[in-house]
């Protein structure tokens, strides 16, 4: 069975373009207003929503907030596609719960790759409730962490950060990308709070074989010690 992708964009040409890019891979449903988008999201429970920001009847930000406020839809990944550029627009989208922000114009292959990655991660994590990273185990539904078999308390934000770091082991993640990942409920989080979270996580994972390293001017990465 194909996965369902809902496209919400007030530009008919853009709806047709995105639908054409995804044609054959997914069940694609397109609508042109925020009201239709909310109704279709509720009706279809799509696997993924592609959302424009500047809609005629409401902003995409507002629609994203409405979707994320519903228990049945709050875990549905949302990708913003917009002509609005700049970090402020992206950060707003991420804080509201979007998993990605793609600026128009974009390359078709980039959109396909993003969607494939998002849906692949969604399928993997829905099947694997517990993910083991050597001596750190993450229970995704309950947000529980076990280190060498012992449960260690992590706050929700700390859990999201350690999960993100472990999924991107050896890769440097900027403070901005970590900040964006703590969406949608942490609107008051700033760069300094990210540093505080990292310090707390470092203390908690000391018994493990992992360590979080600072990369000057770049951000953080998690590595496995030999």
pLDDT, position 211: 96
pLDDT, position 178: 86
C-alpha dist (Å) from residue 190 to 17, 101, 181, 197: 37, 19, 12, 11
E strand or H helix at 101, and its extent? Answer: strand 100-103
Decide if 178 contacts 160 (C-beta within 8 A). no
pLDDT, position 125: 55
Distance CA 37, CA 153 (A): 38
Distance CA 88, CA 147 (A): 37
Domains observed in the chain: 4-126 (3.40.50.2300), 154-224 (1.10.10.10)
Distance CA 43, CA 215 (A): 46
pLDDT, position 93: 86
Identify any residues that bridge with 49 across adjacent strands, giving them in sequence order: 6, 78
pTM of model > 0.75: no
Q: What parts of the chain have a pLDDT lower than 50?
A: 184-186
User: How far, rounded to the nearest angstrom, does the alpha carbon of residue 188 sit from its chain's CA centroid?
Assistant: 18
Decide if 8 contacts 31 (C-beta within 8 A). yes
pLDDT digits (tens, 9 = 90+) for 4-39: 999 999 999 999 999 999 888 899 999 999 999 999
């Amino acid at each position: 069975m194909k996965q369902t992708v809902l496209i919400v964009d007030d530009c008919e040409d853009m709806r047709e373009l995105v639908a054409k890019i995804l044609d054959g891979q997914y069940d694609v449903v397109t609508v042109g207003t925020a009201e239709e988008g909310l109704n279709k999201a509720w009706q279809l429970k799509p696997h993924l929503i592609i959302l424009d920001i500047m809609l005629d009847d409401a902003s995409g930000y507002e629609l994203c907030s409405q979707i994320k406020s519903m228990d049945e839809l709050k875990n549905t990944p949302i990708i913003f596609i917009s002509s609005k550029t700049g970090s402020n627009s992206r950060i707003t989208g991420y804080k509201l719960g979007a998993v990605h922000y793609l600026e128009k114009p974009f390359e078709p292959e980039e959109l396909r790759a993003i969607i494939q990655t998002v849906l692949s991660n969604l399928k993997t994590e829905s099947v694997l409730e517990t993910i083991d990273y050597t001596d750190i185990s993450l229970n995704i539904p309950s947000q529980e962490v076990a280190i060498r078999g012992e449960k260690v308390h992590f706050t929700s934000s700390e859990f999201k950060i350690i999960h993100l770091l472990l999924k991107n082991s050896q890769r440097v993640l900027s403070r901005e990308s970590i900040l964006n990942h703590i969406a949608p409920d942490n609107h008051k989080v700033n760069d300094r709070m990210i540093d505080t979270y990292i310090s707390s996580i470092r203390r908690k994972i000391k018994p493990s074989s992992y360590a979080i390293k600072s990369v000057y001017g770049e951000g953080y990465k998690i590595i496995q010690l030999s």
